[in-house]
């Protein structure tokens, strides 16, 4: 089922809020490298588990590829979600049966979440976009 030739690498982009992850996949043994760091030392335990979700769901397909991710922008959780999405897109491209499996599990593995924060309105720059100044009745 693996469509990747020996020399060809695959490329996908994952996005979450302000974080953008560019993920390359090449034939290998299942290693994941993020910004030059191995997955075992990257981030916190929670972010590592998030990134490993598509790899765990894919099983043997993930063990035939090496992933190299370059991520910037956003916070640590947004970056982890972006990497996770990039890996999920690559895996679903290689094994068509994984697309339904990923969609049933969590659709953000394949589809970007388009929600963004609302811009602040004039006169309320420090309070947020819709919060009004507190008024006293007496």
- All structural domains of the chain, each given as residue ranges with its CATH number in brackets, are 10-109 (3.30.230.10)
Please determine, for residue 8, whether its predicted confidence score (pLDDT) is greater than 70: no
Q: Is 66 helix (H, G, I), strand (E, B) or coil?
A: strand
Share of the chain above pLDDT 90, in %: 64
Per-residue confidence (pLDDT) for residue 124, from 0 to 100: 73
Q: Is 127 helix (H, G, I), strand (E, B) or coil?
A: coil
Neighbour count for residue 103 (Cβ, 10 Å): 14
Label residue 7 by pLDDT band (50, 70, 90). low
Q: Is 33 helix (H, G, I), strand (E, B) or coil?
A: strand
d(CA 42, CA 89): 21
d(CA 104, CA 97): 12
pLDDT tens-digit series, residues 105-125: 999 999 998 988 888 888 777
Can you list the alpha helix ranges (DSSP code H) found in the chain? 45-58, 76-94, 97-105
DSSP for 2-25 reads: ----SS--EEEEEEETTEEEEEEE
pTM, two decimals, is: 0.83
pLDDT tens-digit series, residues 46-92: 999 999 999 999 988 889 999 999 999 999 999 999 999 999 999 99
The pLDDT mean for the chain works out to 89
């Amino acid at each position: 089922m693996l469509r990747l030739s020996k020399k060809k690498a695959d490329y996908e982009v994952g996005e979450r809020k302000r974080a953008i992850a560019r993920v390359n996949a090449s034939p290998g043994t299942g290693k994941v490298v993020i910004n030059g760091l191995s997955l075992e030392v990257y981030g916190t335990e929670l972010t590592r588990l998030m990134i490993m979700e598509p790899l765990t769901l894919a099983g043997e397909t993930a063990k035939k590829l090496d992933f190299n991710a370059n991520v910037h922008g956003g916070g640590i959780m947004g970056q982890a979600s972006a990497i996770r999405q990039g890996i999920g897109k690559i895996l679903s491209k290689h094994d068509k049966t994984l697309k339904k499996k990923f969609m049933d599990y969590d659709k953000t593995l394949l589809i970007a979440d388009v929600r963004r924060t609302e811009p602040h309105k004039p006169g309320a720059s420090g309070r947020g976009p819709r919060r009004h100044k507190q008024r006293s009745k007496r």
